[in-house]
Amino acid sequence: MSLVIGEISYTNILPFFYHLDRDALKEKQCHFVPQVPSQLNEGMAAGRIDIGGISSFAYAANASAYTLLPNLSVTSYGKVNSIFLFSKVPMQEINGKNIALTSSSASSVHLLKIILQHFYSFENKYTTMEPDLLAMLQANDACMLIGDDAIRSKRELPDGMYAYDLGQLWYEQTGLPMTYAVFAVRNQAIAEQTELVGTVYHSFLKSKQLSESREYQPMVADIVKTHGGEKLFWDEYFNQLCNDFGAAEQKGLLYFYSLAYKMGFLPESITELNVWDSVSVQAKACQ
């Protein structure tokens, strides 16, 4: 028995991974696969990855095969600080412009289209590209980046460019939180390895709880060394993100899904989330 764990290769997922006892999990035949969200989404859909963080949009696209893990997500109530539309022109002039989208995202690309098309009635031409601000802006008027690519680009943004935070734009329109990443598990893995799934789940939960109770220290000190930026920025970043996945976050996500369905991005409407009843599993965290 073994489980392949998807690990989003952006700092925003670290609270769930920083305090994991990786050696103990590896002894239980767990393997970690660090990739950007779009690759993890694909890996889980193909059955190469069993459990871990994926784009919230990818859950909706495969809802019948997956179960969501409660109390784990990457969500923001307003500003997310790492998902931006960078533009050469102000928002009121973006209608009709060419926009490049990062190839690493599934949730945020649809979120951007929902905001621009549904809420602002804009019509734009979209191209998908590798995440690279300057290359994206060569033939486009604006580009959308997520994760560490967005954080870095915001820090080094050329003068005169505009940056719009998608979490903030969504919140202005809906008053709801937006969940970008969920933790999902393939139903097959639950059926075949319930206890190990329980162990991995409780390990994520414990890492998140330790991250929060220690106010993201010393995790942030490590991030400053590896990713640069100011300690204050990272402290605020993690404090502003919400890592829960309860009734309020689920309500925001269902509204996102309803708009994605209405606009033809999802083949089926998702009116309910299949969230794992972890209370029934007696497994302990590996830590």
Ligand X SMILES: C=C(O[C@@H]1C=C(C(=O)O)C=C[C@H]1O)C(=O)O
Q: Which residues bind ligand X (CB under 6 A)?
A: 8, 10, 12-13, 37, 55, 74, 80, 82-83, 105-108, 146-147, 150, 180-181
Cβ at position 220, least distance to ligand X in Å: 16
Neighbouring CB atoms inside 10 A of 8's CB total: 25
Cβ at position 28, least distance to ligand X in Å: 25
Structure tokens at 218: 């010393």
Cβ at position 147, least distance to ligand X in Å: 3
DSSP-assigned states of every residue in 123-175:
--EEEEE-S-HHHHHHS-SEEEEEHHHHHHHHHTPPTT-EEEEHHHHHHHHHS
DSSP-assigned states of every residue in 20-68:
--HHHHHHTTEEEEEE-HHHHHHHHHTTS--EEEEEHHHHHHTGGGEEE
Cβ at position 279, least distance to ligand X in Å: 26
For residue 52, report the phi and psi dihedrals to the nearest 5 degrees.
140, -170
Cβ at position 70, least distance to ligand X in Å: 18
Nearer to ligand X, 85 or 196 (CB): 85
Nearer to ligand X, 253 or 286 (CB): 253
Nearer to ligand X, 140 or 243 (CB): 243
Nearer to ligand X, 136 or 146 (CB): 146
Q: How far apart are CA 174 and CA 193, in angstroms?
A: 39
Bridge pairing between strands 66-76 and 51-55: unpaired
Sign, CA dihedral 30-36-39-40, equals positive
Nearer to ligand X, 9 or 258 (CB): 9
Nearer to ligand X, 68 or 286 (CB): 68
Cα dihedral 127→128→133→138 (10° resolution): -40
Cβ at position 82, least distance to ligand X in Å: 3
